[in-house]
Amino acid sequence: MAVIRITEQNFDKEVLNSKEPVLLDFWAPWCAPCRMVAPTIDEIAEEVKGVAKVGKVNIDEEALLASRFRIMSIPTLMVIKDGRVSAQAVGVRPKKDILKMLNE
């Protein structure tokens, strides 16, 4: 499954009501570190097919979601399981650390 574009309109369906854990990447097009981690996020999305979902939230377009989760710095990576945040990290992270967040 490819990375899902998360918006206010699909957030409940794709994230809160998901049976699988969801890795969210809060990012913006102008953010260099966000662009650095993007290929890793894409790889993870392919690797976790059927086990987890991966979504991206563009904070410029989805300011309400960014505010709701108190995003102060980007990239912020967040794992949501059963409707609750189970792990969170700010900044570029190695792939193994991001995968570990999904398994916590």
Q: Is 63 a catalytic residue?
A: no
Q: Which of 4, 23, 24, 34 is catalytic?
A: 34
Q: Is 88 a catalytic residue?
A: no
Percent of the chain with pLDDT over 90: 92
> What per-residue confidence (pLDDT) applies to 104?
78
Which one, of 46, 41, 23, 33, lies nearest residue 74 by Cα?
Answer: 33
pLDDT in tens, 11-22: 999 999 999 999
CATH topology for the 4-103 domain:
Glutaredoxin (3.40.30)
Q: Which H, E and C letters describe the chain, residue by residue?
A: CCCEECCCCCHHHHHHCCCCCEEEEEECCCCHHHHHHHHHHHHHHHHCCCCCEEEEEECCCCHHHHHHCCCCCCCEEEEEECCEEEEEEECCCCHHHHHHHHHC
Whether 1 shows a pLDDT value over 80: the answer reads no
> What per-residue confidence (pLDDT) applies to 2?
86
Q: Which of 3, 28, 31, 89 is catalytic?
A: 31
> Where along the chain do its domains lie?
4-103
